[in-house]
Structure 1
Amino acid sequence: MKFRAKIVDGACLNHFTRISNMIAKLAKTCTLRISPDKLNFILCDKLANGGVSMWCELEQENFFNEFQMEGVSAENNEIYLELTSENLSRALKTAQNARALKIKLTNKHFPCLTVSVELLSMSSSSRIVTHDIPIKVIPRKLWKDLQEPVVPDADVGYFVIWLCESCYPWSFFSFCLPFLRLCKILNLQVIEANLDGELNLKIETELVCVTTHFKDLGNPPLASESTHEDRNVEHVAEVHIDIRKLLQFLAGQQVNPTKALCNIVNNKMVHFDLLHEDVSLQYFIPALS
């Protein structure tokens, strides 16, 4: 196995750093999947056991000026590495205003992802800062558990943001975050929606019920429009989730998407799909049993 990549464009480097910071906020450890044309950051906790799942995908050509890799074999030209997300984030934080960033797979008494940052000193000469990040190489037999999660057919799906670059980003989530922080001590959050453009965030206790209403939201096209048309538009799909997991997702965002979707599978999960021109993030929060 071999892997080496290089970024020299400052905007690409800053964008990659923001993505790494986001991953560190969403997952303590993650899997880095390296393929010839993509990088994926993966978290695959079992939804059935109450864990969240994450699938973040980057097109390598949009970030790296140089990119070379050889997988475990010609037939399985991929590499799967387990690493502590914060270690990568800390290494990339030293790359602000860097001339170049190099990442490569090395073996220094133990497998490492070596991050080399070329910095410009006051005397205009270069100096190199190197970080060796310990990793675990995931064997081929375990790859089947690290594939892109299958998204069940949603009962209700909504565009919660679809903005141009000049619009204020994250309008839905910017509004939700203070409300959720206020209610996080209760731990339980209800998300409910129907096909008539209505979505509610609800906190319920024996003493109080607090609801935030959103109306006139747009429905994304579904795989089966005929099934969608047969449904009662006023039928409500809902899911009870741990509010702390939703807070972690919202507070961890570092990339402003141009489109974001919220899909609800009744009493099973809520699925967020965030899209940017060069990165996508899927995040799955299971229902509480």
Structure 2
Amino acid sequence: MRFKAKLLDINCMQQLTRVGASMSRMTKNCVLCLAPKKIVFVSNERISEGGTRIWCEIQQETLFDDYRIEGKDNSNRIFLELITDNFARALKSIQFGVVSVKIRLTKKYTPCLTIEIVTAYGNSNRIITHDVPVVIVPQRDWYEYEEPDMPQFDVSIYMPQMKVLKQVIDRMKNLSEHLVITADQKGNMTLKTQNDIVTVETHFKDLGNPVWANDAANNRKEASTQIGAMEACIYIKKLAQLLQGQQINPSKIICNLLAEKAIHIYLVSEDVILQYYIPAAM
């Protein structure tokens, strides 16, 4: 197996740094899937224990100036398990004045992602090298890290802007461990939390509803409009974890609600797609 990539654009370097920082705030460990056309950060916690699932995808051509990969089979993929904080710390060395960033799969005392950062220093260059230990995921386990199917949701709705959502959740998370999300296909959403003393609700109107391409989604839209609002109760800390960790500045946030089962949040920015699956509270 071989992997080598190079970044020359400071904006692309900063984008990778933001993704790394976001992942480190959302999860301790993840699997980095390297494929010919994209790289994906995947985290699968145990859903049965209230865990989340994260899928963060970047098209490699929007990020790298040079990208070469040689995997084990015809799919040309490599799966690497890593500690997200180690990866994020290595990328923190990327500052203005960086000339290039090279990332290679190497074998030292253990398999590593070696990140080589070249910085202009006077009339010469300074090289900073970080070795991020990784575990190569055996091919028999790859199925656990494939892209999740779009869930058969009951309601799909745009969420408020990230800044507004953070402010609301920050106030609510100290009141209860649970959050009830109610939404309909008319663009209405309510966030509610309560304890023995107080009930707090925040209402949003005219958020809009995405139109999905397949007929099944259109049928769901018609059915949900007739049925009315649907709701799901989740652990509020799971949503707070997503919002606090975000640095990718999404242009759209979509919430797909599976009544009484889960919510599937879909963040879209110019170059990054992040999917975040939160099961209903036990």
**TM > 0.5:** yes
- Gap runs ≥5 in structure 1: 161-170
- The equivalent residue for 1:173 is 162
Residue 276 (structure 2) pairs with residue 283 (structure 1): yes
- The equivalent residue for 1:167 is none
Residue 133 (structure 2) pairs with residue 134 (structure 1): yes
* Structure 1 residues 84 and 221: alpha-carbon distance in aligned structure 2, compared to 1, 3 A threshold: same
Q: CA deviation at 1:151?
A: 2.6
Contact 1:4 1:105 in 2 (8 A): yes
Distance 2:23 2:223 in 1: 39
- The equivalent residue for 1:82 is 81
User: Comparing 176-185 with 11-20, which one deviates more in the overlay?
Assistant: 176-185
Q: Normalising by the residue count of structure 2, what TM-score does the alignment of the two structures yield?
A: 0.94
Q: CA deviation at 1:182?
A: 2.2
Q: CA deviation at 1:18?
A: 1.0
Deviations 1:193-250 (A, max 9, x none): 1222210000122221100000112111143223432344462211111111110101
Distance 2:220 2:177 in 1: 34
How many residues get paired?
A: 277
Residue 239 (structure 2) pairs with residue 246 (structure 1): yes
Distance 2:219 2:43 in 1: 34
Match of 1:184 among 173, 179, 186: 173
Superposition pairs of residues 1-289 of structure 1, within 5 angstroms: 1-73=1-73, 75-97=74-96, 98-121=98-121, 123-160=122-159, 172-185=161-174, 186-222=176-212, 223=214, 224=216, 225-233=218-226, 235-289=228-282
User: Comparing 256-265 with 131-140, which one deviates more in the overlay?
Assistant: 256-265
Distance 1:28 1:44 in 2: 11
Distance 1:232 1:90 in 2: 47
Contact 1:195 1:234 in 2 (8 A): no
Q: CA deviation at 1:133?
A: 0.6
Q: CA deviation at 1:147?
A: 1.0
* Structure 1 residues 208 and 128: alpha-carbon distance in aligned structure 2, compared to 1, 3 A threshold: same
- Structure 1 runs of 4+ off > 3 angstroms? 230-234
User: Comparing 208-217 with 142-151, which one deviates more in the overlay?
Assistant: 142-151
What percent identity do the matched residue pairs reach? 38
Q: Aligned to 2:206, what secondary structure does the other structure show? A: coil
- The equivalent residue for 1:166 is none
Distance 1:60 1:238 in 2: 37
Deviations 1:32-85 (A, max 9, x none): 000111000001123233110010110101111110010012x24100000011
User: What is the letter of the counterpart of residue 252 of structure 2?
Assistant: K
Contact 2:113 2:133 in 1 (8 A): yes
Q: Aligned to 2:281, what secondary structure does the other structure show? A: coil
Deviations 1:71-110 (A, max 9, x none): 012x241000000111111111111121100000000021
